[in-house]
Amino acid sequence: MLSTRLGLSPLLHSSKQASSALSRLAVPRTTSTPLPRLRLTTVPSATPRRSFCSSHTADDKDRSKKDITMYLQETHDKVFENNKSWAAEQVAKDPDFFKKLAAGQNPEYLWIGCSDSRIPAEQITGLQPGDAFVHRNIANLVCNTDLNVMSVIEYAVKHLQVKHIVVCGHYGCGGVKAAMTPKDLGLMNPWLRNIRDVYRLHEKELDAIADEEARYERLVELNVYEQCRNVVKTAALQQSYAENGFPIIHGWVFNFRDGILKDLNVDFKTILKDIQKIYNLTN
């Protein structure tokens, strides 16, 4: 069992907990104009109940469907209302804002982050539209077999000529926790195995951490570190750095508790030197 081998047995035991490890990523939005919340119609207990799951009347079911339909329409419309307000605000601050955006992009950063809805790259860093080229996936992984992230790195480095590549994870990552779960997660297994491999590489250090939460947070950090190494292994990065002296790699972790980014101070030059003993792709 993975839990026995890794000393992680107390984490997530039930099938329900394991299958929902990735679903606990969302929290209520904090935008200035929050989206409406679904309120389903309830039927007084005196009303006879039958047929629908043995607990709902046909009228109750119809009302619930209408409420859901209304909710879906409202949350759809709210996004467009917010968009119009945002666009007007940008023009008020800078009449040429959209003219500049339409002229093209020249971002300084490539941001490789987690898909978690609570970590919008621009908001937590103060960056503006056009400052960062963004790629996100579950647990901010950089897998050499993932043509999506490999294409993003290639384009960002060779064509956009970004100066910084940031791999940003976060404490409380559902993907990392799911990977620590001794449970078959179906289609997610091959993806999460990359995180389990990170544990295997650092098993001695992680097993020496007695506190479960501290071990979990350390794995989050080590996962970011290993993904930085995977970026360094790419030909695009190595060749651009040899020719231009950029981009350089950073590993950061976001903390939900205080909103602060932690710089892991990844030693890019040392990693590059070590990597090129085997993965030298500079021709």
Alpha-carbon Rg for the chain in angstroms:
23
118 is catalytic: yes
Cβ–Cβ under 8 Å, residues 195 and 201 = no
* Tokens matching residue 252: 């950061």
170 is catalytic: yes
114 is catalytic: yes
202 is catalytic: no
116 is catalytic: yes
Active-site residue identified among 135, 136, 173, 215: 173
Active-site residue identified among 135, 170, 229, 250: 170
Count CA atoms within 13 Å of residue 40 on its CB side: 11
Phi, psi of 168 (to 5 degrees): -120, 115
Active-site residue identified among 56, 118, 164, 196: 118
Q: How far apart are the first and last CA of the chain?
A: 44
Q: Helices marked H in 180-253 — which ranges? A: 189-201, 203-207, 212-232, 235-244
- Backbone torsion region of residue 30, taken as left when φ is above 0, otherwise alpha when ψ lies between -120 and 50, otherwise beta: alpha
Active site residues: 114, 116, 118, 170, 173
